[in-house]
Amino acid sequence: MKPFIDVRLATLVVVAVPLFAEVRQSPSAADVSKPGSEAGRRAGATEVRTDHLKLTSYQSEPAIAPGRRVSLILEIEPAPRMHVYAPGADNYRIITLAVKEQRFVRLAPVQYPVPEVYVFEPLDERIPVYQKPFTLSQEVTLDARPEAQAAFRGRPSLTFTGTLDYQACDDKLCFNPVSVPLSWMLALEPGPTERPSRPPAPRQ
């Protein structure tokens, strides 16, 4: 990891940056979990690791259909002594889950848990952070209007893509910002007007 000078300590200390240090701005293919891993035991889950966080993404339901609501879930576990900034941390880079918009898909606001308060004693600051495992949730709903059902007709699945943007810090340093690509793939089921109707019961 390539640390840089923590702006909170800029007036207090000078940190030497090693020339040989590296920063992984995004996870490599080797970071994605394989079947049989802890994440793989949850159906459809994918695990990604960065230098600062372990991320596990999955969805609340395996399939989605017009008119149905599903949650895209991201479990986040900071590494020891690491924290990321929560909403309300003014002047800091807040951790942000951003799911890409799609036509005929409604995105609800991302649900953030209640943060902890981190006390930065040199500047007597109290900052909302996450430093224990926590979960972010993005609810998505497919439009059920006829034109939306026509747009989804014949598609076997629907993929949602997004990014997790954050900056991690420990008790001494803040590290370079990171953007992690994410995706969730759900089976796509027909809407209520497309389901085959039952044949009328024979008369007795």
pLDDT digits (tens, 9 = 90+) for 87-145: 999 889 999 999 999 999 999 999 999 999 998 777 778 999 999 999 999 999 999 99
Cβ contacts of residue 93 below 8 Å, gap of 6+? 85, 165, 166, 167, 177
139-193 pLDDT tens trace: 999 999 999 999 999 999 999 999 999 999 998 899 999 999 999 999 999 877 6
**How far is Cα 184 from Cα 32, in angstroms, rounded to an integer?**
14
Domain coordinates of the chain in residue numbers? 3-188
Q: How confident is the model at residue 201 (pLDDT cuts 50, 70, 90)?
A: low
State both tokens at 165.
């943007």
What is the third-level CATH fold of 3-188? Answer: Immunoglobulin-like (2.60.40)
Least trusted range by pLDDT, from 21-25, 29-33, 97-101, 110-114:
21-25
> Hey, what amino acid is at 30?
A
State both tokens at 17.
């940056």
**pTM score, whole prediction:** 0.74
Cα 200 to Cα 51, 156, 190, 203, distances in angstroms: 61, 29, 21, 9
Q: Using alpha carbons, select from 52, 46, 4 the residue that is nearest to residue 25.
A: 52
State both tokens at 16.
């030497």
**How far is Cα 140 from Cα 93, in angstroms, rounded to an integer?**
25
**How far is Cα 42 from Cα 56, in angstroms, rounded to an integer?**
10
